[in-house]
Amino acid sequence: MDSNASKIATPAGLGRFSAKGFLGSGIKTEVLSGLTVALALVPEAVAFAFVAGVNPLVGLYAAFMVGLLASIFGGRPGMISGATGAMAVVMVSLVSTHGVEYLFAAVVLTGLIQIGVGVLRLGKFIRIVPHPVMLGFVNGLAIVIFLAQLKQFKVPDPSGEGEVWMSGTPMLVFCGFIALTMIIMWGLPKLTKAFPSALAAILVVTFVVIGFNIDTKTVGDIASIEGEFPTFQPIAVPMSLETLWIILPYAMILSAIGLIESLLTLTLIDEMTDTRGRGNRECVGQGIANSVCGLFGGMGGCAMIGQSMININSGGRGRLSGISAAVFLLAFIMWGYKQIEMIPMAALIGVMFMVVIATFEWSSFRILKKTPPKDAFVLILVSGVTVATDLAIAVVVGVIVSALIFAWEHARHIHVVVRDDPDGSRTYELNGPLFFGCIHEFRDFFDPANDPDDVVIEFMNSRVVDHSAIEAIDALAEKYRKAGKTLHLRHLSEDCRLLLHKAGDMVEVNVLEDPQYSVADDELG
C-alpha cells in the first residue's frame, strides 16, 4: 500500500491529538471557517431554545459547551455539535411538566449514558444502518433544515396576535438579500477559495443593509443574545429514585437521538472527506459535552449536519474549526452581541439554503430509477418519517423495514432437493439459510406420515441461523419419532447439536465434515 493510501485509511488526528488533526487545513482556514459556523449557530441555537421552551441563553450556552467539548474529545475532527431541534422537541414535554431544572438533570444523565455506550464500544452498531436509510436520513434532514428557515419569513402581526407572512416590499427585500447571499456563495469559490464564501456573503449583505440603512429582519429581532460566561449550577432537583424515574425515559431518548444523529453525520463527513472518524470516541465526546453542559445550565445537544456542512465546505477539517466556532460564539454572547444582532436574517437563511442544496442527495432521483423498488421505498419512507417525526424514529423505522424486507427475500431462498436412495431411504437435501422467516416453508417440505421408515435431512448446504430454526428442527424430529420412523440429521454444526433438546440423539456426528459456525441464541451466551 502506498503512503497516500495509508493516509486516507488512517488519517492523522482522528484517533489522537496530532497537529494535523488539530489544525486541519491550517490556522487561517480553520479560524475563518469557525467564525462562519459561529454566525450560523446563533439563530439556530435561539430557535431550538424556543422549541424546548427555555431561555435563548440556555440554547446558546449549549451550543458553546457542546461545540467546544465535542470538538476536543470527540472522534470526528471538523464535525460541529450544538443544540439541535431533534433533541429540543423531546425536551419541551419535560420542561413544561417539571421545569427547566429537571431538564438539566436529564441532560447530565444523557451524557453519562452516551459515555457508557462509547466505553462499551457500541458505536459500531451504526454500521447496520443500510445505505438507503442513510440517503433518506440526509434528504430528510435537508428538508427539515429548509422548513425550519421558513418561520423567519414571518413577522409579528400588527394586531398583536401571533405572526403573519411578510408581503410586499419587505418580502421582496428579504428574498433579494437571500438571493444575493446564495449568488456570492456560488460565485466566490469560482474566483478564489482563500476566504470562506459563506462568511464573505454574510459580511457583504450586512454591510449593504447597514450602509444603506435598509429596514429588514435581523438577528436582534428574534431575541437578545447578551449574556455572561456560563456558571456552574449544581443539580437542583431531589436526588431520589422518584427523580430518576422522571428523567430516565427522557435521558434514554435524548441519548439515542443524539448518538444516532452524531454517528450518521460522522459517517457522512467520512464519505465527503475520504477519512474515517472514530464512532466510539465520538460517543464518549458527546457524553462528556452533554454532562458538563447540564451542569452549566445548557440544554445539551449533538452533531449538527447543517453547520458541519458549512464547516467542511468552508475548509474546516480539524478540531480547531469546532473550537474556534465555540469560542467565537461565546465572544458574541459576552461582548459582540450588539454587532451580531445587526446581521440580517436573510444572509443566514441564504447560507442555510445553500447548505440544503449541498446536503440533499440529488442523485437519489436518478438512483430511484435504477435501484430495486424496496430500496427506493425505504429511502422515501425514512425521508418522510424524518420530516414528520424526528431522526431517531426515522432511522429505527428504516432499519426495521430494511431488516424485514431482507428476511422476506431470504425466506424465499431456501429449497429442498428430495432424493430416494436404493436402500429405500429418502434424503432431503436442504439448501439456503434456515431462520425465522422461512420456518413455514421448511415444515411444508416434509411429509412424516407418508415418508419411508428411514429419512435423512442433509444440512451440508444450509446454515441454521437462529433459535426459531432450532425449534423447527426439534418439532419436525418429534413428528417423525411419533410416526415411528427413523430420522437422521446430517452435517449440523456443534452449536446446533447443543441447542437441540428433542432431536439431539438423531444427529450424525462427523468430526471431519461437520461445519463450524455459531447460532444467534442466548442459551449459548
Query: What domains are defined for the chain?
Result: 22-149+161-359 (no CATH), 412-524 (3.30.750.24)
Question: What is residue 151's DSSP assignment?
Answer: G
State residue 48's pLDDT score.
Answer: 83
State residue 433's pLDDT score.
Answer: 86
State residue 20's pLDDT score.
Answer: 61
C-alpha grid cell, residue 436: 425465522
**Within a 10 A sphere around the Cβ of 59, how many other Cβ atoms?**
31
CA 52 to chain CA centroid, nearest Å: 20
State residue 517's pLDDT score.
Answer: 67
State residue 7's pLDDT score.
Answer: 37
State residue 177's pLDDT score.
Answer: 96
Closest CA to 114 of 286, 301, 289, 300: 286
Question: What is residue 114's DSSP assignment?
Answer: H
State residue 394's pLDDT score.
Answer: 84
State residue 428's pLDDT score.
Answer: 92
What would the DSSP string read from start to end of 229-252? --------S--SHHHHHHHHHHHH
Beta pairing class for 163-165 and 154-156 = antiparallel
Instruction: Give the integer Cα–Cα distance in Å for 147 and 401.
Output: 26
Under 8 Å between Cβ of 212 and 354: no
Under 8 Å between Cβ of 77 and 250: no
Instruction: Give the integer Cα–Cα distance in Å for 517 and 430.
Output: 17
Instruction: Give the integer Cα–Cα distance in Å for 499 and 494.
Output: 9
Ordered per-residue pLDDT tens for the chain, 525 residues = 344 433 333 344 444 555 666 776 789 999 999 999 999 899 888 878 887 888 999 999 999 999 999 999 999 999 999 998 778 878 988 998 999 999 999 999 999 999 999 999 888 777 777 878 888 888 887 888 888 888 889 888 887 777 889 999 999 999 999 999 999 999 998 988 778 888 999 999 999 999 999 999 999 888 888 999 999 988 889 999 999 999 999 999 899 889 988 998 998 898 888 888 898 999 999 999 999 999 999 999 999 988 998 999 888 989 999 999 999 999 999 999 899 999 999 998 998 898 888 888 887 787 777 778 888 888 889 889 888 877 778 888 888 898 888 877 776 778 899 999 888 899 999 998 888 888 888 888 999 999 999 999 998 888 888 888 888 888 898 899 899 998 888 888 887 877 777 667 777 666 566 677 667 665 654
Give whole-number Cα distances, 218 to 81, 227, 320, in Å.
24, 18, 29
State residue 373's pLDDT score.
Answer: 84
Instruction: Give the integer Cα–Cα distance in Å for 430 and 445.
Output: 10
E-strand ranges in 89-180 read 154-156, 163-165
Closest CA to 152 of 246, 65, 67, 217: 217
C-alpha grid cell, residue 340: 451580531
Closest CA to 338 of 230, 218, 229: 218
